[in-house]
Each structure stands twice: as structure tokens, then as C-alpha cells.
Structure 1
């Protein structure tokens, strides 16, 4: 039976806006990521209160309809009116293809975020896991964590790039989604004062959910397991 635990997570809503922006910087991050910084006066009132917020990145690829994909706001500078998004260069999806050729001066639109799930940074223990698509959120989160807490990061990605944190950081790099599930199965989850977070492919997210909530009985009130994408589908996002 899952333990009953009052949620410490705060959910807030934001006014939904679409903002026109321009690329002002493109920075490769290892072999499989690129950080693209956008600027626009309409970013003056942008709000991103949580490390796993999602904005809708909207661009024209010459098709009948604009392309829309969900991305994590990696870094925001209100004074400079700048927002940075990190793109995983995996496969040949439309957003990855856009990011590979991104150049200063290109235009795009940023929508949202609609809301934030604010997870306190003072949990004593954090498990952050996922594939390449989860790394921007993981990098943002561990940069926020204080030195008093422990964070275990489990990533199924061959190119993790730099992970910077004041927290007591333990990084597990695994080969694929199946190995990630087994790694989470092997990690003892503390019964109290801990938070579990996962982002990645839908079938792996379902297996992680079954391990964390089913096998281990860890409370849903202290976790978030999200399917960031689904094999064979476009523009997929689902919380499990």
C-alpha cells in the first residue's frame, strides 16, 4: 500500500501568451545538444517558476501549418529579455532539424507556459531521471539545489555534457531506457523527505511509473513521471 503523504508541491497557473522572438545566440553543447537564445520585448513579463515547465516552441518549416513542440525554458534573463532553450539533436524530427540549422536572426514564437508545478528545493533527497529530452530540465533543477541535499541523476544518454550543482550529486549514466528502469529498480527510495522526477519516452515512463508507484509503493504526491515523447508520434506530452 502506498504511504499517505501530504503533497508539498504547489501548482500555479499563468496567463497564456504567445511571444514573437528572434534568435540572438546559438551555442553547441557537446555532440547532441544546442542551446538557442531568443530575445524579444514581449519576453518582459515571461514567467517560468519550475524546472520542468514547458513552453510551446512554434516555427514555420514551409508546411501548411506551423510546427509546435514542447520544450523546457532552460534559462531566462528578464533584464535582457532573453530566453534560452536547449534542443536535443536526436533523430530527424522537425524541431531537431530546425535546431541543427538555427542561426542568429531567425524568427520563432514562444507560447506559455500555461502553469508551473513548483517542487520545493529543500527535499533532502532527489531522484531525477530520463533520456536526452529530460536533460535540460535536469540541468536546470540541479543548478537550483542547495549543498544540503542529495541528488541522484540517472540518464540514458551517451552525451550528458556538463552537470553543475552545489548539491551532493551522484550521476548514473546508462545505455538505454531498459537499463534506466533497472537502475531505478535498484535504487532504494527513502520513505520520507524525497522527490522522484522522470521525463522521457512514453513506454519507458510507464515502466518507471510501475516501478516507483507499484513495486516500491512510493507516493504519487512526491513524484512526477512524464512522457515527454512517444515513439512514432509527434508533439506528445503526458503525465503518468
Structure 2
């Protein structure tokens, strides 16, 4: 039996932030998976940086090989205001300007951080949570699992193409992780979940076609309340600087 409730008693709260351009430099680089690179930036401009949600996005501004400015969306994974540091994780795709920049990054390289414009704050008292996405969503999922209250029931469905991108999560949640190999397996795993017990929140991020199908599964097949979900297309094959909220 699926959840046919049209709404939820809990509400996601939006908080807007002052938009600033912050000049930073690379402080540290760490490989976090076969296709994932964590880069920590530092700069005095980061002392008043604010990111209140795991779903936040900043614009990472960097020069390409021709000196032209490129902008890409990234999730802040860690922020230390005392040290003036901010960490982003880069998915190392086969090609792309951001991938090229990350691969050649060295300590001291300059960049610019802009935003986030706002934060969508999801209540922490839902009965359960589902987090679904591919490699591009892994930073947001990792941050959510780190920040979520102890004992929270969470199911994470994560699509990766390489076993080397599997990771252990720093979390106090009651966590069930399902690693899948492609978008079809991700959808099948979500279809197999029982979403009928209590009130839950579903978050999804990843490739546009898969996320569109995920939204259909949640709304049409699972009858999950629209107010208790957020599904975003993080990327689309052949498109640069692509991000689209689907719900």
C-alpha cells in the first residue's frame, strides 16, 4: 500500500543569502574515490560564508585553458569559518572544463566562489528519509548523512559506475545504503521501497532523464506527497552548466 496523503504537516523552509563573490585559493587536495576529488579552498572572504543545507549550490568560477571564466554548480561539503576554508568535491568525468581544472589543481591556484543564493532547509523530524542520486549527488548525500540527527532512518540509493567510488559514510543515522550500477537499477531500487509508513522525505539528484523518471515514480506510482520531495537534474549529456529543479 502506497502513501496517498496529498500533503505533509512539515514544511521545507527557504532562507535567502546575500550573494557575494569570494576570491579563494586551493589549500588541500584529496582523492575520495576513483572518480572523485575533494578540494579545500581558503581565503579571508570565507569567514562570513553561509551554507545552511546539504542541497545548497555555489557557483565555482575558474579560468579555462584560454583564460575565459567558466561557472559550474557545486555543493559545499564542509565549511570552517574559523580557518576560512571551504571544501568542494569534484566528479572527474571523462571530459569537461571543471574536470580539467580539478585534475591540474595545485596548492595556491586561484578561483572564485559565488553564493549560495539561498538554502532549502528540510525538517529533521520526518519519520524517514530517502536519498537517491548518482556520482554528481554523492557530495550532497555525504553532507546530509554527516549532519542528520543520530538514529534517523535513512535509505540511500546511489548509482556509481566504478566500485572505487563506494565509500563509508561519517554518519550517526540508521542507514541502509544500496549501491547500483545504472539509472534503471536506481529506479528499480526506489520502486522496491515501502514509502507508506509514516511521513518521509525523498531527495534526488543526478542525470536529467533518470531524475525525470524518478519524479514520475514518486508522484505517479508511489503517490508520494509533492511537498515532501525534491528532485533535481544536476547534469544532462552534452550540456554544460546544467541544473534544473524538477519538482
Q: TM-score per shorter chain, which class?
A: over 0.9
Note the alpha carbon deviations across 1:166-199, whole angstroms, 9 max, x for none.
1111000001011101111111113532110000
- SS of 1:45's equivalent in the other structure is coil
Task: Trace 1:1-240 onto structure 2 (pairs within 5 A).
Answer: 3-63=6-66, 65-157=68-160, 158=162, 159-190=165-196, 192-240=198-246
**Post-superposition offset of 1:25:** 0.4
- SS of 1:143's equivalent in the other structure is helix
CA distance in 2, matches of 1:109, 1:176: 33
The number of aligned residues is: 240
CA distance in 1, matches of 2:10, 2:123: 11
Question: Which has the larger displacement, 149-158 or 59-68?
Answer: 59-68
**Post-superposition offset of 1:145:** 1.6
Work out whether residues 155 and 172 of structure 1, in 8 Å CA contact, stay in contact via their aligned partners in 2. Answer: yes
CA distance in 2, matches of 1:200, 1:20: 28
Gaps of 5+ in 1: none
Note the alpha carbon deviations across 1:138-180, whole angstroms, 9 max, x for none.
0000111222211100001131222121111100000101110
Gaps of 5+ in 2: none
The two structures have a TM-score, normalised by structure 1, of 0.96
**Post-superposition offset of 1:93:** 1.1
**Post-superposition offset of 1:233:** 0.4
The structure-2 alpha-carbon separation of the partners of 1:191 and 1:3, relative to structure 1 and needing over 3 Å to count, comes to farther
CA distance in 1, matches of 2:210, 2:107: 36
Note the alpha carbon deviations across 1:180-232, whole angstroms, 9 max, x for none.
01111111113532110000000001000000011111011111000001111
Work out whether residues 6 and 226 of structure 2, in 8 Å CA contact, stay in contact via their aligned partners in 1. Answer: no
CA distance in 1, matches of 2:159, 2:42: 32
CA distance in 2, matches of 1:64, 1:58: 12
CA RMSD, Structure 1 to Structure 2 (Å): 1.3
The two structures have a TM-score, normalised by structure 2, of 0.94
- SS of 2:47's equivalent in the other structure is helix
